[in-house]
Structure 1
């Protein structure tokens, strides 16, 4: 899945709001969702983020 600039701006605004509000659970959920998006689309080139 490609993320266009408008979608990325929304991610940034939501994350910034979560940071400002101190909502750690929201921050972690967003980071995981974004990471999962890119893990699906990008080939694993020596990525060690997912343990064996």
Structure 2
């Protein structure tokens, strides 16, 4: 999609992307793991490995 930057500078983000952008972004990251979730999972696996459990 080619955008004329003169025209794009007069458009709001909502006009350019649509009304549903916020809900799309919310759904996109709803089930994403955070850094803390991943770190906790890795730490638990490391501890279980050292204790000899799987």
TM-score bin (small chain): 0.3 to 0.5
Relative contact order higher in (CA < 8 Å, ≥ 6 apart)? 1
TM-score relative to the length of structure 1: 0.43
Q: Determine which structure has more spread, i.e. the larger CA radius of gyration.
A: 2
